[in-house]
Homo-oligomer: A and B are copies of this chain.
Amino acid sequence: MHEKLYNVLIKRAFIIPTSEIYNSIAGFYDYGPIGASIKNRIISLWREIFLKEDGFLEIDGSTILPEIALKASGHVDNFNDPLVECLSCKRRFRADHLIKEALQVDASHMSIDELTKTLSESGLQCPECGGKLSEVKPFNMMFSTYVGAVGGTASYMRPETAQNIFMCFNKIFNTYGAKLPMGIGQVGRSYRNEISPRQALIRVREFTQMELEYFFDPDNEGESLEKVKDTVVPLQTRQQQRDGKDFDPVSLGDAYANGDIPLKTMAYFMAKEKRLLNSVGITNFRMRYLMEDETPHYSGGNYDVEIPTKFGWVEVMSLAYRTNYDLARHKEFSGKNLEVTVESKKVLPHVIEPSIGLDRLFWCALEHAYVEDKERGWDWLNLPPRIAPYDVYVLPLMKKDGLGEKAMELSKDLMVMFDIYYNESGSIGKRYAKADEIGVPYCITVDYDTLQNNTVTVRFRNDAKQVRVPIDQLCGRLGQWKYNSVVEASKSGLDIIMG
């Protein structure tokens, strides 16, 4: 199914391979108008759920960072992928991916030496030319550049948005009331020089992250669990993983009591992650407690949110308890005291980080919305109205006889309250098909009756039914249908955001 979806995304220009006319470098996509609209609407949802509800702050930082900052964060020394090269054709591969594909062995946690050993013992050769493979070497995934004239400052495109926030924290803390907890978020580009980008938007080289860093005093965690203790999430505990078992639904209160969630506030953010997923139409996912050997030494416990796709389970969100590692490293490398004073006590705050890969979430939302529909004759996207690229399509039956002008005028009136797309090209059937295909929930058709009695036809994407509505009732009815779709989703047990 993902090939069908990919084809729709390309055909309708949701996404366009960057510099496609030059046959593009792999791993870069431009978002066309429909894709950019969906992406922006997901960002709005994230802002509501992760920032506004709690009065958290948002910054917008530079994407080029100097080497020293990324030395401190550990990325210069440790942000590597295992690279293996064919000694004949010089093609390069990610060693763990090669082993997974050729030997069906999960090599994701093997060391460089283990990878080399596994490759040489298996006798594996270059999948392209059959040549001999090199030893495995670490390859740093950051894009490097120089700032200033020749011989300038070594710098990198940031590999995550988080580091700007850590470096700004002290300054913002003192400007914004000097209180803990404090949440600071950021939406922006990050960059990773993937050896083998693939799987459409899943593994790309330039992508958008939505990250929140929640700074708190570990001696004073607060009672955030209380609000979410009855929220049920599909959790996979460490014990379940050791036993080779699947995930189970469990309430956050119980999971915390069982010791399967390290901090109360992590449970609070897991409830938010669930709400964002449900709000973009994703009901099928699991929250997996990472095993000790999957997390960095400083971690207090990390969760991944994984979503089943046609590429397998994909990590789309994470929730990391980073302790005070990042602030401690920046303190050490900068020589600045980054401790803050809260009620006469010095604290180097701990951090919980819910981090979301927007491009992956976008892909998963579309894959979950994809409906194969032989009966209708075309496939369509069952996107929740909140993230549909447009609220309403407005179509004149014909351009002529004043229908075009009337439909255009209606579009302008509706534009005050809704995102409208006006389309006058092609047969009505083809235009309905296109609206369905890009997930627009409502089509409004202006026809000859409209000129007589000021009514229009509204067609619903999900059941293709049509009703006749007077134009002066249109705004209210559209608002009501949008609202009803949320209520119905809520009734069926989804935790989704209104408005």
Chain A residues with CB under 8 Å of chain B are 11-13, 16, 18-22, 24-25, 27-33, 35-37, 39-40, 52, 55, 57-66, 68-69, 83, 85, 92, 139, 143-149, 152-153, 155, 157, 164, 167-168, 170-172, 175-179, 184, 189, 191, 193, 195, 205-206, 330, 333-334, 336, 338, 411, 415-416, 422-425, 499
- Give 13 new A-B contacts, CB below 8 A, not counting A64-B206, A92-B148, A139-B149: A13-B176, A21-B336, A29-B62, A30-B60, A31-B59, A32-B171, A33-B172, A64-B157, A83-B149, A145-B145, A148-B195, A149-B193, A189-B189
Q: A167-B21, A168-B16 known; A92 and B62 CB under 8 Å?
A: no
Contact present for A32 and B172 (CB under 8 Å): yes
Chain B residues with CB under 8 Å of A184's CB are 33
Contact present for B205 and A21 (CB under 8 Å): no
Contact present for B30 and A59 (CB under 8 Å): yes
Chain copies in complex: 2
Chain B residues with CB under 8 Å of A19's CB are 65-66, 68-69, 167
Chain B residues with CB under 8 Å of A164's CB are 18, 30
Q: How far is the CA of A60 from the CA of B29 in the complex (A)?
A: 9
Chain B residues with CB under 8 Å of A69's CB are 19, 22
Q: How far is the CA of A36 from the CA of B25 in the complex (A)?
A: 32
Identify the closest chain B residue to A51 (Cβ): B33
Contact present for B155 and A147 (CB under 8 Å): no
Interface SS of chain A: helix, strand, loop or mixed?
mixed
Chain B residues with CB under 8 Å of A425's CB are 177-179
Q: How far is the CA of A168 from the CA of B33 in the complex (A)?
A: 11
Mind listing 14 A-B residue pairs with CB under 8 Å? A13-B172, A13-B176, A19-B68, A32-B168, A33-B172, A37-B58, A55-B422, A63-B189, A64-B205, A145-B145, A149-B193, A177-B423, A177-B424, A189-B189
Chain B residues with CB under 8 Å of A155's CB are 25
Q: Which of B37, B61, B157, B179 contacts A18 (CB 8 A)?
A: B61
Q: How far is the CA of A329 from the CA of B31 in the complex (A)?
A: 23
Contact present for B143 and A147 (CB under 8 Å): yes
Identify the closest chain B residue to A71 (Cβ): B22
A145 to chain B, nearest CB (A): 4
Chain B residues with CB under 8 Å of A422's CB are 55
Chain B residues with CB under 8 Å of A152's CB are 193
Chain B residues with CB under 8 Å of A63's CB are 63, 189, 206
Contact present for B62 and A334 (CB under 8 Å): no
Q: How far is the CA of A338 from the CA of B76 in the complex (A)?
A: 42
Identify the closest chain B residue to A411 (Cβ): B55
Contact present for B32 and A143 (CB under 8 Å): no
Q: How far is the CA of A175 from the CA of B15 in the complex (A)?
A: 12
A217 to chain B, nearest CB (A): 17
Q: How far is the CA of A147 from the CA of B153 in the complex (A)?
A: 20
Chain B residues with CB under 8 Å of A55's CB are 411, 422
Q: How far is the CA of A247 from the CA of B494 in the complex (A)?
A: 61
Contact present for B170 and A21 (CB under 8 Å): yes
Q: How far is the CA of A164 from the CA of B20 in the complex (A)?
A: 10
Q: How far is the CA of A179 from the CA of B423 in the complex (A)?
A: 11
A201 to chain B, nearest CB (A): 12
A277 to chain B, nearest CB (A): 22
Contact present for B25 and A153 (CB under 8 Å): yes
Identify the closest chain B residue to A336 (Cβ): B21
Q: Which of B22, B168, B415 contacts A30 (CB 8 A)?
A: B168
Chain B residues with CB under 8 Å of A33's CB are 57-59, 172, 176, 184
Contact present for B92 and A149 (CB under 8 Å): yes
Chain B residues with CB under 8 Å of A39's CB are 60
Chain B residues with CB under 8 Å of A12's CB are 175
